[in-house]
Amino acid sequence: MNPTDARLQALLQPITEPMAAMRAVLAEELATDAPAVADMTDHISRFQGKQLRAALVLLVGQATQNDDRELSTVAAIVELIHLATLVHDDVLDGAEVRRRVACVNERWDNQVAVLLGDWLYSRAFHRSTTLKSRLASQLLAKTTQKICVGEIEQAGGRYDFEMAETRYENIAGAKTAALYSAACELGARYPGDSGFGTSMASFGWELGLAFQIIDDVLDLTGTEAEVGKSVGNDVEDGKVTLAVLKTYAMADGDTRARIRDVYTLPDLEDRVARLREVCDLGPGLDYARARASALLTSAQGRLSALGASPAREALETLMTFLQERRF
Amino acid sequence: MNPTDARLQALLQPITEPMAAMRAVLAEELATDAPAVADMTDHISRFQGKQLRAALVLLVGQATQNDDRELSTVAAIVELIHLATLVHDDVLDGAEVRRRVACVNERWDNQVAVLLGDWLYSRAFHRSTTLKSRLASQLLAKTTQKICVGEIEQAGGRYDFEMAETRYENIAGAKTAALYSAACELGARYPGDSGFGTSMASFGWELGLAFQIIDDVLDLTGTEAEVGKSVGNDVEDGKVTLAVLKTYAMADGDTRARIRDVYTLPDLEDRVARLREVCDLGPGLDYARARASALLTSAQGRLSALGASPAREALETLMTFLQERRF
């Protein structure tokens, strides 16, 4: 176990039992009689990653004294929706490596990846309709809408070097923060309402947005080995992320033209390296890191309203963990 | 208006008002503040077709004396799910023409078609969670699963010339009949239960399966002008449909090899014409038509248990209409 994994394990310690229950539900939902589907779900279960969204449901649940027995199922449903978006993301980005396992659309074709994602969504929605409260169904269907709109807006905003920062944050937020926010909100208030629903929704949004901003930074600065997935995709795909937006905004006309060329000229290799040649990304990267840091500080503040608990401590450790991830 | 459209209009006469209410809900659900999405939904609303699935919900509803006020909304949700499957189908099949409007993934790229389909699904599911009964949510989420499994099995069964007929029917059924069946079941029993739920579910299944079998026949025998969408796709995509399965089963070894060649040799043009050269499709086509006819007769029998009503008459006319479509 590498040090990062060991620290994550420690973080999940207060929710060992509900996470096990969550995994049991997830396994149930990934089980199928259809052999053609089973072959793929086996594969998917290998790249499930850290199950951070499920952990957020359960950690926030515990930190807000929500001991509803259905919370593990809610967490599994959130994780299923995340899996569906990952599978469809593979269709979208043509990313070549995700967590060092060949992604679904390389092993099978795009057609089947679309269907598998649809199947995962419908499993998730169906399970949510069997819960005593409609809150999970409703919030997660709304969240899925937000995610789609964000991704569609992102596709429409490619090569837009003058995008407003708020628009960048809306798009990055819809992509990642929306599901984090729903996870934390459900943890705090499923099945009904609690005083912490709104603040935990904001906590999750800030956490998720910070995570996405850092992810975008790492796509510019990291190596595949460090990040655990291919990097440089954003420049390749025409996605202008916060550090580049800021760099572009501060650049003179010549530099701007060169930045645009790096994104748009056909058949360029290693566009990130070329980007670093034509401009100084440093201040833009610092700006993005500072923004992520501010979001994490704000999120941290929201935790202070909760009583002390091992789960709250784990959430605080998670924040530190994310703060460090950016370097 | 061509004669076909005029006859369809007459068919919908008993449900003029609920269809208008259905369309209003559909318009609400296709409305969005996101400009990037709005551009696409405008386009989608132009290829909505005959809204046959929504009409089935409402005709069966009326024929079974179900006057629940939410039925128009249920019908709109069924139609939204159908639209989502169409949009994802365009990603899948690469079909070039659907109802003579360029399909979504030609005007936008595959990425956005996947997201738009996901958005439509999540709109549909969200709307279903606002209804008084969970029946629509649950049945439609289950149905979406079935559709996906059927399509995945179909992808896995390509170039399988020895597929059992029951497997062909399961796949064809999952693809089309599942949603017809859900539409008819919901029409009969939403929001709760009625004596007609099971028989109308079977009615819808048989109707939908007959429709799909005829569709597969037309893909082999029709022209683009007649059918209103591109034809010959199944052979091109390696889908071995009922008429070919039967032809293959009855053929000698040499003919079988030639049939396989027509499907699999690279860069062949007009594979359907070549298929007709290497074998006599006639008996296989007749067999498929007879099977569709038997299904329609069985479905028709199920209607006889219902009291006389304009809606039941319309459903009977629809059957005749489908019977004729096959020639």
Asked if the model's pLDDT at residue B227 lies above 90, the reply is no
The per-residue b/e assignment along B144-170, b for 16 or more CB within 10 angstroms, e otherwise, is bbbbbbbbbbbbbbeeeeebeeeebbb
Asked if the model's pLDDT at residue A218 lies above 90, the reply is yes
Residue of B121, B128, B159 to mutate for A, most A C-beta atoms under 10 A: B121
Say whether A115 and B125 touch across the interface (CB within 8 A).
Answer: no
Asked if the model's pLDDT at residue A93 lies above 80, the reply is no
Closest chain B residue to A136, measured at CA? B129
Closest chain A residue to B94, measured at CA? A111
A168 vs chain B: nearest CA distance in angstroms? Answer: 14
Share of chain A above pLDDT 70, in %: 91
For residue range A192-210, list pLDDT tens digits in order. Answer: 987 899 999 999 999 999 9
Say whether B145 and A129 touch across the interface (CB within 8 A).
Answer: no
B75 vs chain A: nearest CA distance in angstroms? Answer: 19
Which tokens hold the place of B216?
């597969």
Which tokens hold the place of B60?
């069966």
Closest residue to A129, CB basis, from B114, B141, B148: B141
> Which segment of A65-69, A251-255, A263-267, B120-124 scores lowest on mean pLDDT?
A263-267
**DSSP structure string for A222-285:** --HHHHSB---HHHHHT---HHHHHHHHHS-HHHHHHHHHHHHSTT-S-HHHHHHHHS--HHHH
Question: Could you list the residue range(s) of the whole structural domain that residue B122 is in?
Answer: 3-325
Closest chain B residue to A157, measured at CA? B36
Asked if the model's pLDDT at residue A296 lies above 50, the reply is yes
For residue range A100-150, list pLDDT tens digits in order. Answer: 345 555 545 777 889 999 999 999 999 999 999 999 999 999 999 999 999
> Which residues have a Cβ under 8 Å from the Cβ of A24 and sit 6 or more positions away?
none
- Per the structure, the count of domains in chain B is 1
Q: Which residues in chain A (253-312) have CB-CB distances under 8 A to chain B?
A: none
Segment A39-44 shows an average pLDDT of 77
Which tokens hold the place of B12?
């919908």
Kindly report the pTM of this predicted structure.
Answer: 0.90
The CA distances from residue B139 to A132, B145, B175, B189, in Å, are 17, 10, 16, 11
Cβ A38 vs Cβ A32: under 8 Å: yes
Can you give the pLDDT at residue A104? 54
Q: Which residues of B touch A88 (CB under 8 A)?
A: 114-115, 118
Q: Which residues of A touch B152 (CB under 8 A)?
A: 34, 36-37, 40, 112, 115-116, 119
Which tokens hold the place of B176?
């089309």
Can you give the pLDDT at residue A291? 97
Which tokens hold the place of B187?
């029409």
Report the SS3 class of residue A137.
helix
B115 vs chain A: nearest CA distance in angstroms? Answer: 5
CA-based nearest residue to B122, from B135, B111, B137:
B137
Say whether A122 and B144 touch across the interface (CB within 8 A).
Answer: yes
Can you give the pLDDT at residue A92? 52
Report the SS3 class of residue A74.
helix
Closest chain A residue to B38, measured at CA? A149
Cβ B79 vs Cβ B54: under 8 Å: yes
Complex prediction ipTM: 0.89
Alpha-carbon span B236 to B91, nearest angstrom: 16
Alpha-carbon span B197 to B185, nearest angstrom: 5
Q: What are phi and psi of A101, to 5 degrees?
A: -110, 135
For residue range A151-196, list pLDDT tens digits in order. Answer: 999 888 889 999 999 999 999 999 899 999 999 999 999 999 878 9
Tell me the pLDDT of chain B averaged across its residues. Answer: 89
Q: Which residues of A touch B91 (CB under 8 A)?
A: 91, 110-111, 114
Q: Which residues in chain A (106-135) have CB-CB distances under 8 A to chain B?
A: 108-112, 114-119, 121-123, 125-126, 129-130, 134
Q: What are phi and psi of A268, to 5 degrees?
A: -75, 140
Alpha-carbon span A243 to A213, nearest angstrom: 9
Interface contact A218, partner B, CB < 8 A? no
> Which residues have a Cβ under 8 Å from the Cβ of B10 and sit 6 or more positions away?
B317
Can you give the pLDDT at residue B95? 39
Asked if the model's pLDDT at residue A79 lies above 90, the reply is yes
Amino acid in position A233: N
Can you give the pLDDT at residue B4? 66
SS (H, E, C) chain B: CCHHHHHHHHHCHHHHHHHHHHHHHHHHHHCCCCHHHHHHHHHHHCCCCCCHHHHHHHHHHHHCCCCCCCHHHHHHHHHHHHHHHHHHHHHHHCCCCECCECCHHHHCCHHHHHHHHHHHHHHHHHHHCCCCCCHHHHHHHHHHHHHHHHHHHHHHCCCCCCCCHHHHHHHHHHHHHHHHHHHHHHHHHCCCCCCCHHHHHHHHHHHHHHHHHHHHHHHHHCCHHHHCECCCHHHHHCCCCHHHHHHHHHCCHHHHHHHHHHHHCCCCCCHHHHHHHHCCCHHHHHHHHHHHHHHHHHHHHHHCCCCCCHHHHHHHHHHHHHHHHCC
Backbone torsion region of residue A44, taken as left when φ is above 0, otherwise alpha when ψ lies between -120 and 50, otherwise beta: alpha
Alpha-carbon span A63 to B95, nearest angstrom: 51
For residue range B240-277, list pLDDT tens digits in order. Answer: 999 999 999 999 999 999 999 999 998 888 999 999 99
| Residue B226: pLDDT band with limits 50, 70, 90 | confident
Report the SS3 class of residue A45.
helix
CA-based nearest residue to A61, from A74, A48, A50:
A74
Say whether B122 and A144 touch across the interface (CB within 8 A).
Answer: yes
Which tokens hold the place of B287?
């067999």
Asked if the model's pLDDT at residue B103 lies above 60, the reply is no
Closest chain B residue to A144, measured at CA? B122
Neighbour-count burial of B91, counting CB atoms closer than 10 A to its CB (0-12 exposed, 13-18 middle, 19+ buried): buried
Closest residue to B141, CB basis, from A35, A126, A142: A126
Report the SS3 class of residue A311.
helix
CATH code, A248: 1.10.600.10
If residue A170 lies in a helix (H) or strand (E), which one and from where to where?
Answer: helix A165-172
| Chain centroid to CA B291 | 17
Say whether A118 and B116 touch across the interface (CB within 8 A).
Answer: no
Which tokens hold the place of B225?
């002008």
Say whether A126 and B134 touch across the interface (CB within 8 A).
Answer: no
Say whether A152 and B115 touch across the interface (CB within 8 A).
Answer: yes
Q: What are phi and psi of B185, to 5 degrees?
A: -65, -45
Closest residue to B119, CB basis, from A32, A110, A145: A145
Interface contact A137, partner B, CB < 8 A? yes
Which tokens hold the place of B166?
């029951």
Tell me the CA end-to-end span of chain A in Å, nearest whole number. 21
Segment B285-306 shows an average pLDDT of 96
Residue of B87, B109, B110, B122 to mutate for A, most A C-beta atoms under 10 A: B122
Tell me the CA end-to-end span of chain B in Å, nearest whole number. 22
For residue range B228-244, list pLDDT tens digits in order. Answer: 777 888 998 899 999 99
Which tokens hold the place of B142?
């289950």
Q: Which residues of A touch B112 (CB under 8 A)?
A: 152, 155
Alpha-carbon span A87 to A116, nearest angstrom: 7
For residue range B126-171, list pLDDT tens digits in order. Answer: 999 999 999 999 999 999 999 999 999 988 888 999 999 999 999 9
The CA distances from residue A42 to A37, A117, B30, B312, in Å, are 9, 14, 36, 47
